[in-house]
Amino acid sequence: MSWLEAIVLGLIQGLTEFLPISSSAHLRISAAFAGWDDPGAAFTAVTQIGTETAVIIYFRKKIGRILVGWVRSLRRPSIWREDPDARMAWLVIIGTLPIAILGLLFQDQIDHAFRDLRLIATTLIVFGILLGIADYLGRKERDLDHLTVPHGIAYGFAQAMALIPGVSRSGGTVTAGRLLGYKREEATEYAFLLAVPAVFASGLYKLTDIGGGSAPSWGPTIVATVVAFLVGYAVIAWLMKFITTHSYLPFVVYRLALGVLIFVLVGTGALAANAGPTP
């Protein structure tokens, strides 16, 4: 991977990680369009550490309260019923289990079969439609203080669907949240918070793959991660303001258009479904 590729892919990671359009799909698609090698699942996982660091800094006060609540609940377990921050901490842990378990079970598919552009186009379209339906029909009455264990588990499985490029981690969890009746801002904030432990765990697990086989080397990966952090922070700030007055419809339309474009390009032979050697 060249330094230019690293900067471009880091920029794309930062721009798309928090929008419900799938950063992993965009990294895969962008490399294919540019004629570059597929950056691979390891590169995607490690660069996401940069964007999740942006989440920690942006929501530092909220995350600090959650950590304090979790420590307090270790001393007095019953407190989680009355302390929203303690409950949030445990529900984030519970919600992380599905993606951790499924990520390990389907690791080979994630690294290879799931990176087929036809599958990515399908997930962009299908989960884009689901996001549009959920955002339009979803009730707007619940905030995160109403989060329950069943809801936490539902959020967790929705996040786990993002193991397939094109689903979108934020898109999947926001879709689940809107269907469960959570306000748009609340569902989006929880999607960000829920992603933190899963992304850091995945990124750290994939660190050993960087520089080996066909995975990019350390230098470009670090550059891409830093770029993703800087751009990602700006995108979080913009998105949290945007959704207070707008729906997710623009992202739904974009997903559908991109999915159709990929199918057309693959169908006409202009782009190979497995364009770029996969790791």
Picking from 265, 256, 264, the residue whose alpha carbon sits closest to that of residue 126 is 256
CA distances from 75 to 79, 80, 247 (A): 9, 11, 42
Residue 274 lies in a domain: no
Label residues 147-172 b or e (16+ Cβ within 10 Å = b): beeebbebbbbbbbbbbbbbbbbbbb
pLDDT digits (tens, 9 = 90+) for 259-271: 999 999 888 888 7
SS3 assignment, position 147? coil
Assign 279 a pLDDT band (cuts: 50, 70, 90): very low
Picking from 274, 96, 51, 80, the residue whose alpha carbon sits closest to that of residue 197 is 96
pLDDT digits (tens, 9 = 90+) for 87-99: 889 999 988 888 8
Average the pLDDT over 58-63 and give the result: 93
Question: CA angle 98-103-104, nearest 5°?
Answer: 110
pTM for this prediction: 0.83
How far is it, in rounded angstroms, from Cα 142 to Cα 62?
Answer: 18
pLDDT digits (tens, 9 = 90+) for 210-238: 766 666 778 888 899 999 999 999 999 99
Residue 214 lies in a domain: yes
What is the 3-class SS of 61-90, one letter each residue? Answer: HHHHHHHHHHHHHHHCHHHHHCCHHHHHHH
- The domain in which residue 108 lies consists of 3-267
Average the pLDDT over 188-213 and give the result: 82
CA distances from 270 to 26, 136, 167 (A): 18, 36, 24
Residue 112 lies in a domain: yes
How far is it, in rounded angstroms, from Cα 45 to Cα 200?
Answer: 8
End-to-end CA distance of the chain: 13
pLDDT of residue 269: 85
Residue 275 lies in a domain: no
How far is it, in rounded angstroms, from Cα 46 to Cα 202?
Answer: 8
Residue 207 lies in a domain: yes
How far is it, in rounded angstroms, from Cα 9 to Cα 147?
Answer: 35
Q: How many domains does the chain have?
A: 1
pLDDT exceeds cutoff 80 at 209: no
